[in-house]
């Protein structure tokens, strides 16, 4: 098998074309090759791979990647190379979400490994320190031991400026959003409004889609003052359904959206449950 590849130049041209035509950009996470194949066929622009999606595919919550049960970068690189890349036809580009705070790896080598397998885009959400509440003890402990947002900024900056890769920054707070855009100038920035609600492992923080849109737009406006050309997408919280995503498109100035559980975990839960229930309801005919 020869995996089809998309160059950085072509990725950026495709993204610019969609922005110019006022067409929504769609980024989607995939924890398996089958999901990636179906997402690409449906027309998503980017397939994101990260350890949280891989764990989600195994029935765990996305946030389980925050617990030290695996080598996040190793898991992401392995399943991206073995499961995702062979499943794609080269229409959607792949973005590897990496742990820039990995103490055992030189991120320049990790980025080069991504490029060697045909992945020309990276993000800092694999996991990110931005997940952790700043007023918590664990945040203070992590940052005091060198786990910082600055390491994520430096990785994104390295990817764009030296490695000729498409960089996708992501943050959970306005403060972190501004720091990432100011320091790394990513091609795409995603504001993560919170864990997606719904399904077996979702989390509802009480936000409505109106809240999610308003919060996202506030960050978009602030980020755009730093970099007017950055591509902006939204993700998470109350953006669970296509109608929710449409609301985001209609009520924010963003260029698209990032789906995770919405196009992976939730549809699988519904479809498998429905099909299995039909089979388990069968009886022997008299």
Residues 183-228 have pLDDT tens digits of: 999 999 999 987 665 554 454 567 799 999 999 999 999 999 999 9
Closest to 186 (Cα-Cα) out of 177, 197, 194: 177
Domain for residue 135, yes or no?
A: yes
Q: How many domains does the chain have?
A: 1
pLDDT range class, residue 86, cuts 50, 70, 90: very high
**Coil, helix or strand at residue 95:** strand
Going by the DSSP 8-state scheme, the letter that residue 172 receives in this structure is: S
Instruction: Tell me the pTM.
Output: 0.90
Domain for residue 286, yes or no?
A: no
Q: Are 49 and 94 in contact (CB under 8 A)?
A: yes
Q: What are phi and psi of 86, to 5 degrees?
A: -65, -20
- Res 133: pLDDT: 87
> What average pLDDT does the chain have?
91
CATH code, 31: 3.20.20.70
Residue 103 and residue 112: Cα distance in Å, rounded? Answer: 17
DSSP character string of 218-251: HHHHHHHHH-TT-EEEEESTT--SHHHHHHHHHH
- Res 61: pLDDT: 67
pLDDT range class, residue 55, cuts 50, 70, 90: confident
Residues 90-127 have pLDDT tens digits of: 999 999 999 999 988 999 999 999 999 999 999 999 88
Domain for residue 33, yes or no?
A: yes
Domain for residue 185, yes or no?
A: yes
pLDDT at 67 over 70: no
Estimate to the nearest angstrom the gap between the alpha carbon of 159 and the chain centroid: 16
- Res 127: pLDDT: 87
Domain for residue 2, yes or no?
A: no
Domain for residue 3, yes or no?
A: no
Going by the DSSP 8-state scheme, the letter that residue 63 receives in this structure is: G
Residue 3 and residue 87: Cα distance in Å, rounded? Answer: 8
Q: Are 190 and 27 in contact (CB under 8 A)?
A: yes
Structural domain of 59: 8-280
Residue 111 CB neighbours (<10 A):
21
Domain for residue 1, yes or no?
A: no
First-to-final CA distance of the chain: 51
């Amino acid at each position: 098998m020869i995996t089809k590849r998309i160059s950085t130049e072509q990725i950026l041209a495709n993204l610019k074309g969609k922005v110019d035509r006022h067409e929504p950009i769609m980024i989607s996470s995939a924890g398996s090759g089958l999901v990636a194949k179906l997402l690409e066929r449906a027309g998503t622009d980017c397939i994101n791979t990260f350890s949280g999606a891989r764990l989600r595919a195994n029935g765990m919550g996305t946030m389980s990647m925050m617990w030290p049960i695996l080598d996040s970068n190793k898991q992401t690189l392995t399943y991206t190379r073995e499961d995702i890349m062979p499943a794609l036809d080269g229409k959607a580009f792949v973005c590897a979400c990496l742990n820039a705070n990995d103490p055992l790896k030189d991120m320049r080598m990790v980025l080069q490994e991504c490029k060697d397998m045909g992945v020309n885009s990276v993000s800092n959400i694999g996991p990110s320190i931005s997940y952790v509440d700043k007023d918590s003890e664990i945040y203070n402990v992590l940052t005091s031991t060198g786990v910082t947002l600055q390491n994520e900024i430096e990785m994104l900056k390295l990817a764009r400026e030296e490695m000729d890769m498409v960089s996708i920054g992501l943050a959970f707070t306005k403060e972190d959003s501004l720091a990432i855009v100011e320091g790394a100038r990513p091609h795409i920035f995603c504001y993560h409004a919170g864990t997606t609600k719904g399904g077996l492992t979702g989390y509802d923080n009480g936000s409505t889609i109106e809240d999610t849109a308003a919060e996202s737009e506030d960050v978009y406006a602030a980020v755009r003052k730093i970099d007017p050309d950055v591509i902006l997408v939204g993700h998470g919280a109350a953006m669970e359904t296509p109608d929710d995503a449409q609301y985001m498109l209609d009520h924010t100035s963003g260029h698209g959206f990032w789906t995770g559980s919405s196009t992976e975990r939730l549809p699988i839960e519904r479809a498998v449950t429905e099909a299995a229930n039909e089979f388990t309801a069968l009886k022997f005919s008299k």
